[in-house]
Amino acid sequence: MRSYCREIILLILLLLSLVIAGCSDSTDLGDDYGYIRGHITLANTPIESVATQSSVEKSKNNIKGLRGSTQKNNYVADEIIVSFSKSADIKKILKKYRLSVKKSIKRLGTKTLIGVAERDINALIKELNNEPEVAYAELNRIVSIMGIGVNDPDYSNQQWNYSAISLPKAWEISTGSTEVTVAVIDTGIDLDHPDLQGQLDLENSINILNSDPEKGIIDTNSDDDNGHGTHVAGIIGATTNNQEGIAGINWKVSIIPIKVLDYYGNGSIDNIAAGIEWAVDHGVDMINLSVGGDFDSQILKDAIDYAHDKEVTVIAASGNDGEEDYLRYPAAYENTIAVGSIDSSLDLSKFSNYGLELDFVAPGGGIYSTVPNGNYYDKYTDTSSSGYYAIFSGTSMATPHVTGVAALLLAQARAEGNNLTPEQLKEELRLTAQDLGDKGRDDQFGYGLINAHAALADARITKAKVFTGEEIDYLNYQIKLKSDIINVSENGTYELKNNDEGNYYVYCWIDLDQEGEEGYNKIDKGDYFAKTSSPVGSGSNTNLELNLITEDDFKELKVID
C-alpha cells in the first residue's frame, strides 16, 4: 500500500498526550534502513498492592518453616524400580536376584522391588539392566516440595500476585467451572480448611503412601500434614466470595487431593508416578506438580508421557536452587509446562531455576495462601504467620498460578462447546504472555509472565496491528496513515517497510470486539493499545508495550477506510 495508491485512514484521538501504552524504546539504526522495526509485548495490569511485612508479623521466634527434609540419600535405600518386557519370566528374575515386589503400576508396566539389603544397589541395578527381559532398572529417587469483585478480606491487601497476571480483569470473562478437574499431587490438602470447602473432589482423593491400587488397597485420607499442598490448592481454587480469607484463581473448580509426599515434603519417584497414573485414570484435566528431583527417571518420564498421551496437561515447578541451565524433574521433560518464579518487581526470583526447558514465569515470591492451622515461617520474605493462611515462596507457588489460569481457559472453552489440548493451552498462554528479559523467548523467563486476561480474551500478539500516522487536525485529532498496516509476528517482532519520509508516531492495537459488535474497528475500552511517546523515523528500532484500555471516560478512536 504505497502512498500513491494508499487510502487514508483517519483515527479520532482523545488527546495528544495519550499514554495508554506509551512505553516505547526507540533506537536510531541509520537512514540507510528504510523501515521501522521493533518488538511488541502484551503488558499485564499494574500491580495494585504488595503485602508488606507489617501485614504479617515478622518474628523468627518459635516459628517453623515448611518442614525440611531428613533424608540423607536422594533415593530410597532398599528399593529398585524395574520395567520388565511383556514376555519376561518375572518370578525367575526375582528369585535369581533375591528380590520381591512391593508395588506395581499397571499402566506404566513397572514394579518397585525390595530386598536389596546390604548389597551394592548401583551394582545390582547394573546387573538387572543387563538382563534381556528387563526394559530398565533404576533407583527409586526422592523428590521434594519446591517451596521455601471479591469480598474475601485478605484479597485486597495480600494478593498482589493476582494483579501481576491481570487476573481481576480475567474474572470479568470467566471465574472457572466445576467441570474442570485439577489434581494437586503433593503433600495432601487440608480437607477441613474453611476456605477450600466445596472445591475438593474427595470421592477420587487418595493417599498413595498408604495405598496399593493394584492390590485394591485404597486410603482416601489425603489430609495434609505438611502445609505445602494446601498452599498450592488455595492458589488454584480457594473458595471465593465467601467472606473468608483469600480468593482462588478459580472461583469454581474441582480439585483432587493426591498425597504422595510425607510430613517432611519428601516422596519417592514411584509414588509420584503412581499419583500421576491415578489422576489420569480418574479423569483429571490437568495436574499440578510443585515437586521436583535432581535426576532423570524413566518411570517419571513414562508417567508424564502417559498423562500427555491422554491429553492431560501437566504443569511443573522449575526448582529452587537459583541455578542456570538446570531445571528439576519433571519440569525438564518436554511434555510438561515448566514454570519459574518472579517477584513483585517482575524480576526473576533469586531462588528460581531457569534454562532451555523453561516455558513461563509467574508470581512465586511472598505468596499468601491457605495452610492447615499452625505457625509458619517463610525464609525468602523473612515473614512469619499463624492460623489458616501463610506466606510461602518458591517455584511451587508460581506453578499453581499457571495451573489456575490454564483451568480458567479450559472452563471458558468448554462453556463455548470447545475443548483444549495441552498443546493448545500452552499455545494460548505463549501468545498472550508478557515478554520479560531479552526480547522474545529467553532462558530466564521462558516465553514470559502469563497474562490471564489476554489469554481468556484471546488477545494473541499475532492479532496486533502496527502502523504509523500523522496528526493533521488538532481540533479533531485525526491521524493520516503514513505506512502499511501489518501484523506482529509470533515472537513479537514487526517490520514496517513502506513508510513515508519523515517522523511519525507508531501505533499498535488489538481489537477485541467481534464483527457486528459496537466497538468493532474502533479503538475503545477493552482493547489493547500502544503509541510511541514521540514521533520516530525510518531506521528506528521501536519497542512497545500493549496495555489494556480500562478507563471509563476513554474516547474511542475510530478507524475509517
Please give the average per-residue pLDDT across 376-388, as a whole number: 84
Q: Provide the pLDDT for residue 177.
A: 97
Does pLDDT of 14 surpass 50? Answer: no
Higher-confidence residue of 172 and 475: namely 172
CATH of domain 75-141: 3.30.70.1140
The pLDDT assigned to 151 comes to 57
Q: Where are the domains of the chain?
A: 35-48+460-559, 75-141, 154-457
Mean pLDDT throughout 103-121?
Answer: 92
> Does the pLDDT value for residue 560 go beyond 60?
no
Q: pLDDT at position 517, please?
A: 83
Instruction: State the pLDDT confidence band at 474, using cuts at 50, 70 and 90.
Output: low
Among 216-230, 348-362, 375-389, 484-498, the range scoring the smallest mean pLDDT is: 375-389
Query: With pLDDT > 70 as the criterion, what percentage of the chain qualifies?
Result: 85
pLDDT attached to residue 516: 81
Q: 23 falls in which pLDDT band (50, 70, 90)?
A: very low
pLDDT at 60 over 60: no
pLDDT for res 55: 37
Q: Check pLDDT > 50 for residue 1.
A: no
118-122, 160-164, 495-499: the lowest-pLDDT one: 495-499
Is the confidence at residue 64, as pLDDT, over 60? Answer: no
List C-alpha distances in Å: 487 to 12, 465, 484: 21, 5, 10
Residues carrying an active site annotation: 186, 228, 396
Hunting for cell 495508491 — which residue is that? Answer: 5
Class of domain 35-48+460-559 (CATH, top level) = mainly beta
Per-residue pLDDT at 375: 85
22-36, 258-272, 397-411 — which is least confidently predicted? 22-36
| Distance (Å, whole) CA 76 – CA 142 | 7
Helices (H) and strands (E) in the chain, counts: 11, 27
- Least Cα distance to 554 among 523, 520, 512 occurs for 523
pTM (predicted TM-score): 0.88
Structure confidence at residue 164 as a pLDDT band (50, 70, 90): very high
Q: Please give the mean pLDDT across all residues of the chain.
A: 86
- 325 — alpha (psi -120 to 50), left (phi > 0) or beta? left
* Nearest alpha carbon to residue 397 among 326, 456, 318: 318
Stretch 226-242: mean pLDDT: 95
What would the pLDDT profile of 202-225 be if each residue is shown by its tens digit?
999 999 999 999 899 999 999 999
- For residue 558, the model assigns a pLDDT of 57
pLDDT at 476: 58
- Residue 61 scores a pLDDT above 50: no
pLDDT of residue 236: 98
HSE-CB of 107 using CA atoms within 13 angstroms: 21
- pLDDT of res. 47: 83
Return d(Cα 240, Cα 494) in angstroms, integer: 41
Q: Torsion over CA of 236, 290, 41 and 414, rounded to 10 degrees?
A: -40
The tens digit of pLDDT for each residue in 430-440 reads 999 999 999 99
d(C-alpha 314, C-alpha 423), whole Å: 11
Q: Residues 304-328: what's their mean pLDDT?
A: 96
Q: How confident is the model over 102-130, as a mean pLDDT?
A: 93
Convert the pLDDT of each residue in 519-556 to its tens digit.
788 888 899 999 999 999 888 999 999 999 988 767 66
pLDDT of residue 16: 29
Helix (H) or strand (E) holding 130: none
Asked which of 148-157, 297-306, 364-373 is least confident by mean pLDDT, the reply is 148-157
Q: What integer pLDDT is reported at residue 155 of this predicted model?
A: 53
Q: Given its phi and psi angles, is residue 219 left (phi above 0), alpha (psi -120 to 50 degrees) or beta?
A: beta
The closest alpha carbon to 149, from 240, 60, 67, belongs to 240
What amino acid occupies position 57?
E
Q: Mind giving me the DSSP string for 92-125?
A: HHHHHHT-EEEEEEGGGTEEEEE--TTS-HHHHH
CA 113 – CA 101 distance, rounded (Å): 5
Tell me if 259 sits within 8 A of 224, measured CB to CB.
Answer: yes
Lowest mean pLDDT among 52-61, 212-221, 341-350: 52-61
What is the rounded average pLDDT of the residues 223-247?
94
User: Residues 508-527: pLDDT tens digits?
Assistant: 999 998 888 887 888 888 99
Classify domain 154-457 by CATH number.
Answer: 3.40.50.200
